[in-house]
Chain A
Amino acid sequence: MVSGLINANPVVYERKERRVRTAPFSADEYAVEPIDQQEIFDHIRDIKDPEHPYSLEELKVVTEDAIEVDDKHSHVRVTFTPTVEHCSMATVIGLCLRVKLMRSLPSRYKVDIRIAPGTHATEAAVNKQLNDKERVAAALENPNLLDMVDECLAPTYA
């Protein structure tokens, strides 16, 4: 691992208030409730940054607005913003987002993860890697990498 921190002094933002989900006005308790932005955000907001004791929400790496959901077509796209444009942790953050959504969403969902355009020096390369499922599968068979991902995901299961 690198000794110095990539971004030694990140700006930490206040966390958004947790909204209580409003119950749908439906008499049928078995009615399918579509998955929305807020639900996706709740899955990923508490992911811990790989190098700081803050959540991705606190660092504004992810925001609710940067999540696009098309429940009808089972498609989700999460756009994240690394704290610095040379952040070598961008791939790990992206992998954490992918793994968390893979574990939380129904398997019918197609998930695309990408870096916010213009916020990272090697944007295209990181995006390509994060969306190549063979590389993701191989990465997740690497015990060190999987430990790192699981550590970042731990707070989301609290």
Chain B
Amino acid sequence: MDLLEGNLELKEIQKLEGHTDRVWSVAWNPATGAAGIPAMFASCSGDKTVRIWQQTPSARCSASFECKAVLEETHNRTVRSCAWSPSGKLLATASFDATTAIWEHIGDDFECVSTLEGHENEVKSVSWNASGSLLATCSRDKSVWIWEVQPGNEFECVAVLQGHTQDVKMVKWHPFMDVLFSCSYDNTVKVWAEDGDTDDWHCVQTLGEPNNGHTSTVWALSFNSTGDKMVTCSDDLTLKIWETDSRIPQETDGYMPWRHLSTLTGYHDRTIFSVHWSSEGVIASGAADDAIRLFIENKDGLVDGPSYKMLLKKEKAHDMDVNSVQWSPKEQRLLASASDDGTIKIWEMVPSS
């Protein structure tokens, strides 16, 4: 199916209930959903718990998820975000209680094997690098921390990055380079890289208003599958596409500057909390207007450079704000969304009948 031809719809496959407060975020386990391993994802909530959902074999439909575990009594405040290590064996959860917990999947159980302390207050986001050797966290205390994974589930803080002037909303590693991106209430996105000579991490670029950046809080960012484009979403009601030189340099420490490519404006009328780029190039956004929107690069307009168009808008995708949208890493057309209404929904992108 050509995504630019024909009409698509987002079909609700399943609605998952169980959390007793708003669901902030969902994360698919990257090591599941193929080769006979049932797909799995985690969700985290204002109810201070994390839930693990797993697909059950079913002849009738592709997705039938069940809650397999509830991770509780570790965080004593909101769990804001969660992230799986690339191997899918470890789950990191970031909480307003100022800690990040590391959970190991042992047999059918999840055991908290480490607690990362250091931030002064709410931890808002956590991200693993591509190899799983580094973890990044960020907080309302304006700092970004980088932790090195040591043997025996030990985590050593190797850098505390100061630079943002307000709380940091999200951290995200580049999909294959050890370059870290953070976005903030200070309206900027910062790019952090390690200096090859000194092993020091420092800010190599700030994408802000002077570079056609956002004019209000930047809530989230996501990369395309080739890692040469990035999309950011904001309280300024726009999505912005950024690009870098796709020829990855071997000599330098892997960093190439990013530049503004396109701004998607006029589509959203309330804050955009989440954005995620699928491996086949569809950008999903989740916003405070309860809707999910899908966008794709419009190949027609190549003369003026790439432009993006909206494929569809799913109104009332949830009863309240949509906080998180995440494409399944294995089943390209499967999308999970989380909402203030306390539910998670599984959607499938299908040709409209």
Residues of A within 8 A of B271 (CB): 131
Distance in angstroms between the alpha carbons of A138 and B122 in the assembled complex: 8
Are B78 and A137 in touch, CB under 8 angstroms? yes
Picked from B77, B169, B216, B341, the residue with its CB within 8 Å of the CB of A134 is: B169
Distance A15 CA – B271 CA, assembled complex (angstroms):
36
- Would you call A133 an interface residue if the criterion is a C-beta within 8 Å of the partner chain's C-beta atoms? yes
For residue A107, which residues in chain B have a CB less than 8 angstroms away from its CB? 319-320, 340-341
**A109 CB → nearest B CB, Å:** 10
Flag B163-200 by CB within 8 Å of A: 1 or 0 each. Answer: 00001010000000000000001000000000000000
**What residues of chain A lie closer than 8 Å to B122, measured between beta carbons?**
138
Q: Could you tell me the distance between the alpha carbons of A107 and B124 in the complex, rounded to whole angstroms?
A: 25
Q: Which of A134, A137, A141 has the most CB of B within 10 A?
A: A134
For A108, give the chain B residue with the smallest CB separation. Answer: B319
Taken together as a complex, chains A and B put the C-alpha atoms of A131 and B270 apart, in Å, by 11
Chain B: which residue is nearest A112 at the CB level? B270
Contact A128 B96 (CB under 8 A): no
**How far does the alpha carbon of A110 sit from the alpha carbon of B271 in the complex, in Å?**
11
Partner of A141, one of B77, B288, B341: B77
> Considering the chains assembled together, what is the distance between the CA atoms of A131 and B273 in angstroms?
13
Which secondary structure characterizes the binding site on chain B? Answer: loop
Q: How far is the CA of A108 from the CA of B121 in the complex (A)?
A: 31
Please name all residues of chain A whose beta carbon is closer than 8 Å to the beta carbon of B289 when the two chains form the complex.
110
Query: Nearest chain-B residue to A125 (Cβ)?
Result: B166
Look across to chain B and name the residue whose beta carbon is closest to the beta carbon of A106: B319
Q: What B residues does A138 contact at CB under 8 A?
A: 78, 96, 121-122, 140
Are A141 and B321 in contact, with the CB atoms below 8 A?
Answer: no
Residue-by-residue, is A129-149 near B (CB-CB < 8 Å gives 1, otherwise 0)?
001111101100100000000
CB <8 Å contact, A128 and B270? no
Chain B interface (Cβ < 8 Å from any Cβ of A): 22, 46, 77-78, 80, 96, 121-122, 124, 140, 167, 169, 185, 216-217, 235, 270-271, 288-289, 319-321, 340-341
A residues engaging B (CB < 8 A)?
A: 107-108, 110, 128, 131-135, 137-138, 141
Beyond contacts A137-B46, A137-B96, A138-B140: 5 other A-B pairs, Cβ-Cβ < 8 A, are A107-B320, A107-B340, A110-B289, A132-B217, A137-B78
